Amino acid sequence: MRRKAFALVLVQAVLAAAIAQGQVSGVSPTRKETTIRNLTEETVRYTIRRLIRDSQPTVRYLKPNALDRWPCETPLDITFDRPGQQIDYRLECGLPYTFRYDADDNLELYSGSHGLFGVADLAPFVPTPMVVVDKMLELGGVGEDDFLFDLGCGDGRIVITAARKFGTRGVGIDIDPQRIDESIRGAKEAGVGSLVEFRLQDVMKAEIRTATVVTIYLLPESNALLRPLLEAQLKSGTPVVSHNYSIPGWEEKEVDYVTLQDGTGQEHTIFVYRR
């Protein structure tokens, strides 16, 4: 989940080509909704335009933590500013998006958000590639006697893989009901339903005291938010394995750091800490 991989692709050229080829007329007439959430601390000004003939751009001011809903039948083009730079993206109709800061503290629009109010949106769903899952389990020293917690478990692959390979018991927690359904189905298919449990819950309110190893794949600011919970509940020495992002404030606790490539050549970093 490198930040750039979360980010949308610049689309001005694509937009021009799509309009030229008349692709915009081929969309489904089903009414859907694109949502845009602001998880930054500033009011974001953006301009949005529907991809239909004669559509006029609308200027919006989105306050911190606010959510805009855009009913749509076609993609939407969005423009926002960074200092000295205008950013243009095309949004897919029906998907959720989030304004966040990138690693350089620039305003960025990311795809994905659970869109709930009053619950920290710690990261959109991006699954860890299996080769990275295997390495995370290896670096965490996960074995039969462990009790693994994956905080923000997505489709449950980390917990399910540990159970399948080592017989590890585990709990996956996610705020998205679709992810929990996928996880339960995946565990059943893998024949490990009796070893694992999936909870629909905000991880910020989770009870994780029984964990002997923890995995996370969340954004850096989310790792910072989660740190007090890890410190309050985990036993000293518990391995915490984080995909791609470090845990701010735990520099002293870092015991390993590995970079590897997935099948597409993309690089992933794994940070290993001991609480």
Q: Which residues are near ligand SAM by CB under 6 A? A: 1, 114, 119-123, 125-128, 150, 152-154, 157-158, 173-176, 179, 202-204, 217-218, 243
Q: From the CB of 70, what's the least distance to ligand SAM, in Å?
A: 21
> Which of 1/78 has CB closer to ligand SAM?
1
Residue closer to ligand SAM, measured from CB, 15 or 39: 39
- Cα torsion 199, 204, 205, 207 to 10°: value is 70
| CA–CA distance, 260 with 254 (Å, rounded to integer) | 18
H or E stretch covering 233: helix 220-233
Cβ of residue 172: shortest distance to ligand SAM, in angstroms? 8
Q: Which is nearer to ligand SAM, 62 or 175 (CB)?
A: 175
HEC readout, 142-203: CCCCCEEEEECCCCCHHHHHHHHHHCCEEEEEECCHHHHHHHHHHHHHHCCCCCEEEEECCH
Distances, alpha carbon 226 to alpha carbons 162, 191, 217, 218, in Å: 23, 31, 12, 10
Q: How far is the CB of 121 from ligand SAM (least distance, A)?
A: 5
Q: Which is nearer to ligand SAM, 46 or 217 (CB)?
A: 217
Whole-number minimum distance, CB 179 to ligand SAM, in Å?
5
Q: Tell me how far, at minimum, the Cβ of 38 lies from ligand SAM, in Å.
A: 16
Q: How far apart are CA 215 and CA 136, in angstroms?
A: 8
Of 88 and 202, CB closest to ligand SAM: 202
Q: C-beta of 205: minimal distance to ligand SAM in Å? A: 8
Least Å distance, CB 248 to ligand SAM, is 17
CB 232 → ligand SAM: shortest distance, Å?
17
CA quadruple 245, 251, 255, 260: dihedral, nearest 10? 30
How far apart CA 35 and CA 226 sit, in angstroms, is: 25
Nearer to ligand SAM, 34 or 128 (CB): 128
- Which residue in 270, 265, 225 sits closest to 5, CA to CA? 265
Query: Which of 12/35 has CB closer to ligand SAM?
Result: 35
Q: Which amino acid is at 256?
A: D
CA separation for the pair 91, 73 (Å, rounded): 12
- Dist CA 115 CA 16 (whole Å): 30
Element at 139 (helix H, strand E): helix 130-139
Task: Pick between residue 44 and residue 270 the one whose CB is nearest to ligand SAM.
Answer: 270
